[in-house]
Amino acid sequence: MDRVVLRPGRERSVLKRHPWIFSGAIDTVKSSSAEGPVEVFSAAGERLGAGYLSPASQIRVRMVPEDTIENLVASAVGRRASFFADGYTTAVRLVNAESDGLPGVVADCYCGFVVCQFTSAFAERHKDEIAAALMKYDPFCLGVSERRDCDAREKEGLATGPAFSVLLGEEPPDAIEICEGQVKFLVDVRSGHKTGFYLDQRDARALVGPFANGREVLNCFSYTGGFGLFARACGASKVVQVDASAGALALAKRNEALVHMCGTEMEYVEADVFRFLRECRDRGRSFDMIVLDPPKFAASKSQVMRAARGYKDINLLAMKLLRKDGILATFSCSGAIGAELFGKIVAEAAEDAGRDFQIVAHTRAGHDHPVMLSFPEGEYLKGLVLRAV
Ligand code: SAH
């Protein structure tokens, strides 16, 4: 088989079971082509394992467990069986990339319709096999489709169009209705963000919802309604949903009708959250609960400083708008900003706001987004639920 030999000392991260090998760690590539399966050796000639060569990526080799694609998919799907058991949700991540031994493969299931993103040469090459295995091992699977319009594909030199296509089985409807407990959502898997929905915030939505009872809630970066609809279902007196995307808000309005709870006044604002928060401050508006679930501010380590300023800005503004005993649920999905740094940024914002907060809870992505212990890069989402005292 083709082989990759690492520079002296660079076998260390592979021995620690980290799945990525960057180009700088590689001494020689003895391969007939720029892409394909390889065996990885240390400079001293020790065989370290099997990998897959990416021609256009900074991550030249991704380590792959020495097993069949079918077995790897079957294991990943099998691990999620308990998610469907209690009927709480009909939308689950079935494959979480490197952390399920399938580098660059994400598969999210929405009520039987599985939507994948393939963001490595390995994933792209094996997508038909992966789709067939998903169909075979997910007992609820009606069809498997693919989203190609993601930045990660561009970085890997993979084609980004057409944005959506069916690989196997049935064509999904324009809007798929999923549930999270009592709350239902319509998911647009063709043009919604990621594969259509932020499944990673499922546990946080459930945790934060009950705090909204009887309260006036500002849900910033609402997307299709997420936290705001949980607040409505939990008896909030008012919910203001703010997002820059008109399409997301249009779906949020349709989702509102699916929550059988009257008495919550709903307001939708298409605006930039940074600007909206300043307007609220200038007009002296206040809230009992604020959710901040922004998009990724730092795409890489080089953007950490700028992103930190962005997080501090919105958190400081939100803290000033909170009434006494108010709840702030604040999140960051920037992998480059760890939980500790995020906590520091939020603490600095509180200091500048001149207010005391209790930490009520820490959050992370749900159990269907497991992270391999040897792969800290897989841990990106963190959140804090705070109470202003
Ligand atoms: N909380 C949501 C997910 C939020 S995703 C859920 O539970 O489903 C982040 C959202 O922020 C996206 O909908 C995006 O349209 C929106 N967004 C990005 N930048 C924004 C900005 N500057 N102002 C307002 N919304 C923004």
Residue 129 is part of a domain; what is its CATH number?
A: 3.30.750.80
Residue 183 lies in a domain: no
Instruction: Annotate 274-296 with DSSP letters as a single string.
Output: HHHHHHHHHHT--EEEEEE----
Which tokens go with 157? 């030199």
Query: Tens digit of pLDDT per residue, the chain (389 long)?
Result: 899 999 999 999 999 999 999 999 999 999 889 899 999 999 999 999 999 999 889 999 999 999 999 999 999 999 998 888 889 999 999 999 999 999 999 999 999 999 999 999 999 999 999 999 999 999 999 999 999 999 999 989 999 989 999 999 999 999 999 999 999 999 999 999 999 999 999 999 999 999 999 999 999 999 999 999 999 999 999 999 999 999 999 999 999 999 876 799 999 999 999 999 999 999 999 999 999 999 999 999 999 999 999 999 999 999 999 999 999 999 999 999 999 999 999 999 999 999 999 999 999 999 999 999 999 999 999 999 999 99
Q: Which two tokens stand for residue 177?
A: 């209705």
Task: Looking at the CA of residue 245, tell me the nearest atom of ligand 1.
Answer: 15
Q: Is residue 287 part of a domain?
A: yes
- Are 213 and 333 in the same domain? yes
Indicate whether 224 and 327 sit together in one domain: yes
Cα of 146 vs centre of ligand 1, distance in Å, is 23
> Which residue, judged by its Cα, is nearest atom 22 of ligand 1?
272
pLDDT for 346 equals 98
Cα 272 to averaged position of ligand 1 atoms, centre (Å): 9
Q: Which atom of ligand 1 is nearest to the CA of 223?
A: 13
List the alpha helices (DSSP H) in 35-149. 69-79, 81-85, 121-125, 127-137
Residue 293 CA, ligand 1 centroid: distance in Å: 7
Nearest protein Cα to ligand 1, atom 8? 226
For residue 244 and ligand 1, the question of a CB distance below 6 A is answered with yes
123 and 203 together in one domain: no
CATH number of the CATH domain containing 16: 2.30.130.10
In a domain, 193, yes or no: no
3-state secondary structure (DSSP) of residue 25: helix
Determine whether the shortest distance from the Cβ of 230 to ligand 1 is under 6 A: no
> Angle between the 127-137 and 69-79 helix axes, to the nearest 10 degrees?
40
| 227 and 325 assigned to the same domain | yes
* pLDDT at site 339: 97
Does ligand 1 have an atom closer than 6 angstroms to the CB of 20? no
CATH at residue 216: 3.40.50.150
What values do phi and psi take at 242, rounded to 5? -120, 125
> Does the residue 353 lie in any domain?
yes
Could you list the active site residues? 333
For residue 219, which atom of ligand 1 is closest to its CA?
A: 1
Question: Ligand 1 centre from 31 Cα, in Å?
Answer: 44
Half-sphere exposure of 150 (CA within 13 A, CB side): 21
Question: Residues 240, 351: one domain?
Answer: yes
Beta strands 113-118; 143-147: pairing state = parallel
User: Ligand 1 centre and the CA of 257: distance in Å?
Assistant: 21
Distance, in Å, from the CA atom of 160 to the CA atom of 95, rounded to the nearest integer, reads 21
Residue type, 326: G
Per DSSP, 119 falls in state -
294 alpha carbon – ligand 1 mean position (Å): 5
Distance CA 53, CA 37 (A): 6
Question: β-pairing, 113-118 with 105-110?
Answer: antiparallel
Pocket test for ligand 1, best of 200, 217, 221 (most atoms within 8 A of CB): 221
263 and 214 part of one domain: yes
Please tell me the total count of domains within the chain.
3
* Domain shared by 135 and 251, yes or no: no
Structural domain that includes position 105: 69-176
Instruction: Give pLDDT, residue 261.
Output: 67
Does 247 lie in the same domain as 320? Answer: yes
Per-residue b or e along 120-142, where b marks 16 or more CB atoms closer than 10 Å to that residue's CB: bbbbbbbbeebbbbbbebbeebb
Q: State whether 368 and 281 are in the same domain.
A: yes
CB 113 within 8 A of CB 176: yes
278 lines ligand 1 (CB under 6 A): no
> Does residue 329 sit within a domain?
yes
Is 56 among the domain residues?
A: yes
CA of 344 to the centre of ligand 1 (A): 23
Q: Are residues 165 and 238 in the same domain?
A: no
Q: Look at residue 186 and tell me if it is in a domain.
A: no
Ligand 1 within 6 A of CB of 227:
yes
| DSSP label of 120 | S
Best of 222, 317, 334 for a ligand 1 pocket test (most atoms within 8 Å of beta carbon): 222
Tell me if 243 CB under 6 Å of ligand 1: yes
Q: Are 223 and 198 in contact (CB under 8 A)?
A: yes
Q: Is the CB of 250 under 6 A from ligand 1?
A: no
Residue 67: CB within 6 Å of ligand 1? no
H or E segment and range at residue 48: strand 47-53
Same domain, 157 and 280: no
Residue that is last in its domain, among 33, 63, 93: 63
Indicate which residue's Cα is closest to atom 7 of ligand 1: 226
Q: Are residues 242 and 359 in the same domain?
A: yes
Identify which of 347, 344, 386, 345 has the alpha carbon closest to the alpha carbon of residue 363.
Answer: 386
As a whole number of angstroms, the distance between CA 34 and CA 26 comes to: 14
Domain contains 182: no
Tell me, using a 6 A CB cutoff, whether residue 295 lines ligand 1: yes
> The pTM is what?
0.96
Distance CA 250, CA 219 (A): 15
